[in-house]
A and B are shown apart, each in its own frame.
Chain A
Amino acid sequence: MSMWRDKKTQPTEPHDVQQTAPPPPPPPASRQETPMNETTSRLSSTAPGTPRQTILGPSVVLKGELTADEDLLIEGQFEGTVSLEQHCLTVGANGHVKAEIKARQAVILGTLTGKVAAREKVEIRRSGHLVGDLATGAVAIEEGAYFKGSIEILRDEPKESPRGASPRSAAPPSAAPPRPSGTNA
């Protein structure tokens, strides 16, 4: 999918998401390579292909433990833990989250402080501000995003060879990339 595709082909009113939830049936577009332009970054919370999405609106202030079996968009303030093992968490542009997060995928457009474990991918968009530790299958940080913390890519390591085995089989750096960071989940 092209990153610079024609914006005219995309819906333009992201606020409809909140007013018309649950969201409309998913368009056939792929959810794997979300373009990074402004329009679609605002629309990503509609998460094409997902049947339902919960929205914590801008006026919501919540503390505690949150578990869900559907996608979650936080536009308000949340503090605690979020567990969405099979689903996507989006911290909206107005969202302020201080939490430990487990999700399949996380998209940060607002402010997030805490640890994020996202099995597939973490995206930090231009407006995103993240302070914390990421453990994920892939990460995409847009130019202009703020990030302070650590990034660890989860790998399906081959079974350990016996101790003492020579590490010299490691690829030299010139041939270095063991695999693209986006495909090692």
Chain B
Amino acid sequence: MFPKKTFFESHGSRNPPPEAPSRALEWLWQNLREVKHPHVFDCGPVQPATINVLLKRGAKLYVSDLITLARESDPKFIRRLGKTTTFLTDAFLENIPPIPPDSLSVIACWHLLDLLPRDAIPGLLTRLWSYLRTGGVLFCLLREPSLPNGAGTRWWLDSLMTLRSDPESKLPFPYPVLTNREIEHLVPGGNLKTFLTRSARREIVAIK
């Protein structure tokens, strides 16, 4: 394996952000402690650190960078008719690699739900939910309601229970904030846990 090289080292920055311990991840891995080889879907940008961490955990990984697609608001997912703009959820979901239904133990959504229009989220969550096995966990980050300067959208695992983010990925989010109540309605039959942090994000785990 190559020496571990972080995003910041590769881009010449001397001050990588501090680790962010995640109580949600701590809960998640504790919940999955008996799963020897969890199947994990990472929706974020390809991050060597995340891949190394998860492979060392014994995971089988599915990877597709939905975050970048959503951040860049790729026009191929947007149809404009007059003043009406429609997000083409089905076209967006075609970017998910083939995953057997009921097979995943973890889906790492990161900030994906913050980056999509509201009408795209039910379809996305329904699809992701179908991949989770019973007891599987959907992990996502949601920004706090008032963040005038935006928040980081590019996160990765520094270890199983700690996160790092790229400050250069800090963007104002284009859509209204998702409340916990909305997420409860959107997750189909899920058991939801919210972990508040002092770092402008909520960490959500939804258990199937």
**A is bound by B:** yes
Distance in angstroms from B74 CB to nearest chain A CB is: 15
Q: Mark B21-37, 1 if CB is under 8 A from A, else 0.
A: 00000000110111110
Q: CA A138 – CA B160 in complex, angstroms?
A: 19
Chain B at the A interface: mostly helix, strand, loop or mixed? Answer: loop
| Chain A residues in the interface with B (C-beta under 8 A) | 3, 33, 35-36, 138-153, 167-168, 170, 172-174, 176-182
Q: How many residues of B contact A (CB 8 A)?
A: 33
Q: Do residues A36 and B5 form an inter-chain contact, with CB atoms below 8 A?
A: yes
**7 cross-chain pairs, A with B, having the tightest CB-CB distances, nearest first:** A182-B1, A173-B29, A177-B56, A181-B55, A151-B61, A3-B3, A170-B36
Known A-B contacts A173-B32, A173-B160; the reply to A152 vs B46 at CB < 8 A is: no
Q: Could you tell me which residues of chain B, from 42 to 58, have a CB within 8 Å of some CB in chain A?
A: 46-48, 51-52, 55-58
Cβ-based interface call for B64 (8 A): yes
Q: Do residues A167 and B5 form an inter-chain contact, with CB atoms below 8 A?
A: no
Taking CB atoms, residues of chain A closer than 8 Å to B58 are: 153, 176-178
Distance in angstroms from A168 CB to nearest chain B CB is: 6
Which of B2, B3, B46, B57 sits near A177, CB closer than 8 Å? B57
Cβ-based interface call for B71 (8 A): no
Which of B33, B52, B63 sits near A170, CB closer than 8 Å? B33
